[in-house]
Structure 1
Amino acid sequence: MTITLCGFSLSNYYNKVKLALLEKGIPFQEEVVMTHSKDEAVLAASPLGKVPFIRTEQGTLCESQVILDYLESAYPAHPLLPAEPFAQAKVHELITFVELHLELVARELYGQAFFGGTCSDANKERVKKLLDKNIPAFKRLAKFGPYLAGDTFTQADCAGWVSLPLVAMATKSVLGEDLLAAHGVEWKSYAKLIGERPAAQKVTADRKADQDRFAAK
């Protein structure tokens, strides 16, 4: 079965899926697709024009968590979820907190933090208020033992490793303070730990190479 991962390596959600593919040892190829493409072939696979999505022999799938859960079912070797149902649910709970309650909130700062845009004072205030509430809630759930869900690398780490640094960098750049660190989340040592894994090193190297190519253009 051939899998093609579509998107681009500057996307944290693309890298979430790529990290999972590498960690599970699933053969795949990559196809560069930019977000919000109007190409009909892209929209047929990802109706909102979002990346990543995958092409398989059975068809296409979009949304990063849908893809990860498909990979877990279709390729059970090297599992990234615990076998026990409640433990699986706790991993999904962490992913929801990382992506919905942290990354999606901080995303409103990305235009100013990373792309030269401007975020209104009202939005800055709203984002800070939400993160000041959501980060302590996330901290109650995250184990960092040493991985997010405990002593085993899981899907939660595929999500956390690509998104927590963005939350920290965006808040520091736009709000003047790394809100994760301000609330006692030791994300730097965690990111370093995950970053030492061979799969993460491959993701990082490819992202940096693409970053350089984008900058050159």
Structure 2
Amino acid sequence: MLRLHGFSLSNYYNKVKLVLLEKGVPFEEVLVPTTGHPVDKAMSPLGKVPYLETEQGSLCESQVILDYIEARWPTPPLVPADPWLAAKQREINTFLELHIELCARQLYPQAFFGEALPDKFTARVRGQLVNNLAAFRQLAVFGPYVAGDTFSAADCAAYTHLPLAGLASKIVYGEDLVVAAGIDWKPYVKLIEARPTAQKVAADRKADQGRKVAVPKAAGAGEV
């Protein structure tokens, strides 16, 4: 059986978890221990989560894991068979993760962990985030799903990333920059959470908030 390592406060972990639940693939969750028990770098060389144990070995990086799951369990499909539509979906996902989530992640130390960031730094991040959100809005469909009229792997990413970007910007700037960009993410999240799989992810995330999960400072540089 697959073993998914990480914790339910991680948006990248939840992205993979949601895909596995949607696919109906049996898996075991292995919650990352708290401080003093680092991630096994033999399985995840940079010490990041999520990572996935398979019968053949381990995989890290959430998008790599998703590609593996889609190839091994193609039904139900979460990526279109048409090459163009599949590429457009991946384009949306890439913008979400490289240009929105990783940009907004620079704000997480102040938004969620009580660290004061320099005003010059947060001003620079704001400009980047505003620009990147405007570009993403040109690509995203929300018809009603992020890549069109069908739930897809891109929704597994958007559902986990957009709320964090919105919340972090709201806390740091007093304004939800995602909403300000014309992306009304709250109704979208409600749409996704009508799915039992997303309800499971949300419930586990809420329960995990009661655990003292240590989030490495290096989280600002990549997945966690």
Asked whether the two chains share a fold, i.e. TM above 0.5, the reply is yes
- Over residues 28-50 of structure 1, what are the superposed CA-to-partner deviations in whole Å (9 max), with x where a residue is unaligned? 001112599875x7101110000
Counterpart in the other structure of 2:87: 89
Aligned CA distance change for structure 1 residues 118 and 38 (closer, same or farther; 3 Å): same
Counterpart in the other structure of 1:161: 159
Kept in 1: contact 2:13–2:50 (CA 8 A): yes
- 1:213 Cα shift? 2.7
Counterpart in the other structure of 1:131: 129
Counterpart in the other structure of 1:6: 5
Secondary structure in 2 aligned to 1:138? helix
Counterpart in the other structure of 2:68: 70
> How many corresponding residue pairs?
213
Among 141, 144, 153, the alignment partner of 1:143 is 141
**Distance of 1:97 and 1:86 partners within structure 2:** 17
Q: Does 2:44 correspond to 1:46?
A: yes
Unaligned runs of 5+ in 1: none
Kept in 2: contact 1:53–1:63 (CA 8 A): yes
- 1:117 Cα shift? 1.3
**Distance of 1:43 and 1:33 partners within structure 2:** 13
TM score, norm. by length of structure 2: 0.91
TM score, norm. by length of structure 1: 0.94
**Distance of 1:29 and 1:144 partners within structure 2:** 32
More helix per residue: 1 or 2?
1
Secondary structure in 2 aligned to 1:43? coil
Identity %: 59
Runs of 4+ in 1 over 4 A off after TM superposition: 34-39
Unaligned runs of 5+ in 2: 214-224
- 1:210 Cα shift? 1.0
**Distance of 1:109 and 1:36 partners within structure 2:** 22
**Distance of 1:181 and 1:207 partners within structure 2:** 23
CA RMSD, Structure 1 to Structure 2 (Å)? 1.6
- 1:86 Cα shift? 1.1
